[in-house]
Structure 1
Amino acid sequence: MTYALQTTSLVKKFGGFVATNTVSLNVEAGARHALIGPNGAGKTTLINLLTGFLEPTSGEVILNGDKVTHLAQHQRVKRGLARTFQINRLFADLTVLESVVMAVNERLGLGARFWQSVGSHTAAVDEAVELLERLRLLDVAHETTRNLAYGKQRLIEIALALAAKPSVLLLDEPAAGVPTIESRELFETIAGLPREVTILLIEHDMDLVFRFADRISVLVGGAVLTEGTPEVIAHDPKVKEVYLGEAICD
């Protein structure tokens, strides 16, 4: 079995508070793996440890078989790890196409030329157009990002992450703040991404999680309570007790 992303006994302490408690996680290559749990369970802290935004107190982070525990965020991106955030971080005054071309140029080492005409980087434009088509954004390519519906903005953020050509994509609550109809379309688009990209997802909408994930880890109190297929998690009495509740699972 090949793992794209792993942690071994990962601990993060803030003074006397243990935010992440000996978390060992194995995300298979090509998986759609969801990380769920109540508020304060340590999910975002774990994502921040995976991406290098936070330094662990102890334990290891392993990306595609290599230890990256002490690498900086940009070094992990170059190794194939990209993320989105709970609140989108977009170039509000740029068009969708300009935004994605800029992200592609950044990967190609052309970030300093962002001021040049989009059309002057043909290869970057072609790649950006292909990404927008995959994410069903081609029809809004020339729209300014600030003018788009929030669901579209979340997809643009995913496009910017994918422009880094990651092997592992971390999605931190992509449906947060997105209306129900738009969130379903959002997840249909994410589900259509090629399996060459492994996805680790944090999401509170359990309907979306159970439709999307093929593996779920439940985090409670900074530790992994259990892990399994959606069917196993939905009927696990411990999970029902501490998080999901009978009404959701039955």
Structure 2
Amino acid sequence: MPDTEDLAADLATALRDGQIEAAYQPQISLKTGDVEAVEALCRWHHPSMGEIDPATMVDLAENTGVIHELGRFMLDDCLDLLESWRANGRDWELAVNVSPLQLVDEAFARYVFDEFRRRGLAPASLTLEITEKLPLLDASAVVPRLRVLREIGVGISLDEFGAGYASLERLENLPLTEVKLAGPLVRSTDPDRLGALRESVEVAHERGLRVVAEGIETQQHLETAAELGCDRAQGFLISRPHPRAAVEQGVSVQ
């Protein structure tokens, strides 16, 4: 197995060589069961190692500066898909993760704005997902960028809420439109933990935030997400990630 240094060198050429692609996982409405959105997930198919763990890939990209090129690739793929959906009369929303390093770069928000204007797309059709650790580590640098993006009309989601240190009270300064509950929380069977989670969902709704339950793997997890009051759900029970070609015309859920 190549060491980290070797993988970093490989990542530098992976985009050029077509090893990186976006896969898309549907999110369904817990009220209707219909697909309302998909999340773009970055995948690296290494020629000798096969699938590289996404967390490893992101760490390497951030440490080597490739994250800007990688993030631009993912955003462009998402916008291409939104254009395809518009041409086919489909109005699903699309979510994609962004790194704090992308957000600190003043050019990122400008690029998002320019691309939406050039393509004639509605910014509200895109949600940018940030990780829970973000507001604790980079608030002073990142929050102003998030506010600019929110003013444009782009949605802002806090991913894996509850997995780290943040609480809704500590996130008041973030211009959020959505929180995503971490899978392990939704899969919990602890009544006290689920009770606390239900309260968090209620507070999120009071603040006008959409709540998405991720990591749904069984019917019981899905029922728990509904009982908690979540708006949307995502996970292997519903659908595994699909290549872009499979979701351009729509995709069925399991």
Query: Which TM-score band (shorter chain)?
Result: 0.3 to 0.5
TM-score, normalised relative to structure 1: 0.37
Task: Choose between structure 1 and 2 for higher RCO, CA contacts under 8 A separated by at least 6 residues.
Answer: 1
Higher helix fraction (1 or 2): 2
Give the alignment's TM-score, normalised by structure 2.
0.36
